[in-house]
Every structure is written in structure tokens, then in C-alpha cells.
Amino acid sequence: MRILDGYAGTGAIGLEALSRGAAHVTFVEQDPRAVKLIEANLAALGGSPPKPVIIRAGLSEAVARLAGGAFDLIILDPPYAHDAASGALAAVADLASPGTRIVVEHAARHAPPDAHGALTRTRTVTAGDSALSFYER
């Protein structure tokens, strides 16, 4: 499984995927301090997991670098601003091939669109002020 961990932060989601056998993880994070944490966490993972890619850039810039790439799972945790989830979804839409699943974390009060291009929201799970919206192509 090929995974994109957008807005990776410490890389916890991508690291978990690697520990569970993901074939490849691409981490996208623009904060240099967070990138160092991802690198340290990868080193602590030990063993010889598949070589992950860390892109130190904003999501839109990273997607431009990844043009033509496809992922099985795209996980996005943008800031909880009003339209951040919609913007993140729009940024990665071209990386989704048939069968790709996208999970977007967002503020429950700022729901992303029901669809974006070929992507359709299949469900939303809410817990307090946070929500996860699931999309498929």
C-alpha cells in the first residue's frame, strides 16, 4: 500500500502505517522542526522499513513535485481553519486514482464538500469538535 501523510506533524500516522507493513509512505511537512521529529521517529522505528520520502514543503508544492504519482491512501490533517479541509482535498485530488481513499481531519463545524471532482465523500465520523471525512474516487 502506498500512503501519503499530508500535514504529517510528527509522522505518527505514516510511522504506524510502516509498522503495519505499508510498502511506501510519503510524509509532507513544511515545519523544519517537525521534519526533524519525523526523521528521529523513523530512526527509532528501527529495523529496515521501506525507504520513506519526506518532502519539506506545503501540501500544494509537494503535490506539484509528486505529479503523476498515485497513492492508495491519502491522510490529511490540515489546520482547522474554515476552508482548510476543502483546500487540502482540492490539492490532492489529482493524486487519487480509482480505488484511492482519502481521509481528511477537520473541525466538525467546517465540513468539507460532499464531492470534489471525481472524489465523493462516503461518510463523516464526528467526535467532539473534530471530524474525519472519508472520500473515494
Task: Please enumerate in sequence order all residues whose Cβ is within 8 A of that of 73, keeping only pairs 6 or more positions apart, or say none.
Answer: 1, 2, 3, 4, 17, 100, 101, 102, 103
Rounded to the nearest 10 degrees, the angle between the axes of helix 12-19 and helix 32-45 is 20
As separate numbers, helices (DSSP H) first and strands (DSSP E) second, the chain gives 4, 8
| pLDDT in the model for residue 3 | 95
| pLDDT in the model for residue 57 | 96
| pLDDT in the model for residue 11 | 93
For 45-64, write each residue's pLDDT tens digit.
776 656 889 999 999 999 99
In terms of CATH architecture, what is 2-136?
3-Layer(aba) Sandwich (3.40)
For 102-117, write each residue's pLDDT tens digit.
999 999 998 889 998 8
d(CA 78, CA 56): 15
Within 10 angstroms of residue 101's Cβ, the number of other Cβ atoms is 16
d(CA 70, CA 4): 9
Q: Which of 45, 44, 43, 40 is nearest to 29 (CA)?
A: 40
Q: Quick check: pTM over 0.95?
A: no
Q: pLDDT tens digits for the chain (137 residues)?
A: 999 999 999 999 999 999 898 999 999 999 999 999 999 988 887 766 568 899 999 999 999 999 877 899 999 999 887 888 889 999 998 899 899 999 999 999 988 899 988 899 999 999 999 999 999 98
| pLDDT in the model for residue 91 | 92
